[in-house]
Amino acid sequence: MKLIKSNSRNVALSIGVGILSLLMSSCANDEVSEDRSVSTDVVESEAEMDAVFEDIDDLSSISLESAETSSGGRMEELDDDRLCDGVFSYEGTKESGTITLDFGDGCVDRKGNVRKGIITISHTGRFFAPGGISVVSFVDYSINDIQVEGTRTIENISETLTDTLTFSVTLVGGKLTWPDETSATREVNRIRVWERALNPLNDRVLVSGSASGITRRGVEYTGQITEDLVFVRSCRISRRGKLPVAGVNVITTANNIMTMYFGDGECDRNIRIVINGVSDNVIVE
């Protein structure tokens, strides 16, 4: 009887260990699944922030370029489908002034993006000259009902007038708020290099530097660009704005390090992410 009893005890112990192992494995899988879900959220948040604010930087750049060739007053249109008739106005001189992009109750571009509200761009010094500073702010501005907040300061740090245009970009109090009232925040300290082409649609912008923020799910993160993010004006496929067509951004949270690969120049919504050695693809809508 003792032998049989001992075997029963051993069997029961084996079953218990097996169940415990299964439970631990299940919990581990759940943790991995949750971990990857959080990581994907961080990646998407960073990509969406890049798309919205790079689009704003591009709008600011073409508006400031137009202001330099204008004597002031109201211009009826600019050669950009994002700016409907009457959206652009400028007061001041070439040395200092304020640009107002008033999208009113809605301006629709060819991609179907709807911009509302006001972007204000105040500049001191010439945009294309070293030392020129522009400050971008928002009044009830949104793109596709995503509300945008923050103060973006852009300083021309090019060494000479003949250099490729190089800008220091900081963002303070950056925030996006979605229609469901969830929001994400962001601070930025980056360098933006504008490579101009004969055809403006072929212009490229190279972005380097760092950012930090909190996602819609409350996850804190920091980001460091390890290979320049490359934006092209013609690639505005995301409903958030513009996405990089190349470059690498490394995102760090309390639990993970994620590497975002934006491809080799193709204009698409795909981002390859690597988390703890595991590769996955994310499509940004």
Give DSSP secondary structure letters for 163-206: SPEEEEEEEEEEEEE-TTS-EEEEEEEEEEEEE--SSGGG-EEE
Q: Is 233 helix (H, G, I), strand (E, B) or coil?
A: coil
Q: Which residues contact 28 (CB under 8 A, 6 or more apart)?
A: none
pLDDT for the residue 255: 85
Residue-wise DSSP of 74-110: E-S--S-TTS-TT-EEEEE-SSEEEEEEE-TT-EE-T
Answer yes or no: is pLDDT of 74 > 80: no
pLDDT for the residue 256: 86
pLDDT for the residue 285: 66
Please give the single-letter amino acid code of residue 38. V
pTM equals 0.77
What is the 3-state secondary structure of 6-37? HHHHHHHHHHHHHHHHHHHHHHHHHHHHHHHH
Confidence of residue 237 (pLDDT cuts 50, 70, 90): low
> Looking at per-residue confidence, does 282 or 169 come out higher?
169
pLDDT for the residue 67: 80
pLDDT, tens digit, for every residue of 79-133?
Answer: 688 888 889 988 888 888 999 999 999 999 888 889 999 999 999 998 888 999 9
pLDDT for the residue 201: 73
Residue whose pair of structure tokens reads 């879900």 in the numeric block = 37
Mean pLDDT of 164-180: 94
> Looking at per-residue confidence, does 282 or 145 come out higher?
145
Q: Which residues contact 85 (CB under 8 A, 6 or more apart)?
A: 76, 77
CB 146 within 8 A of CB 55: no
The DSSP bridge partners found for residue 225 are: 249
Answer yes or no: is pLDDT of 228 > 50: yes
Confidence of residue 75 (pLDDT cuts 50, 70, 90): very low
Radius of gyration (Cα) for the chain, nearest Å?
A: 25
The DSSP bridge partners found for residue 70 are: none
pLDDT for the residue 38: 67
Q: Is 50 helix (H, G, I), strand (E, B) or coil?
A: helix
pLDDT for the residue 269: 77
The token pair at 18 is: 């097996």
Q: Is 136 helix (H, G, I), strand (E, B) or coil?
A: strand
Provide the pairing of β-strand 146-156 with 133-143: antiparallel
**Highest-scoring range by mean pLDDT, 69-83, 88-102, 261-275:** 88-102
Answer yes or no: is pLDDT of 31 > 50: no
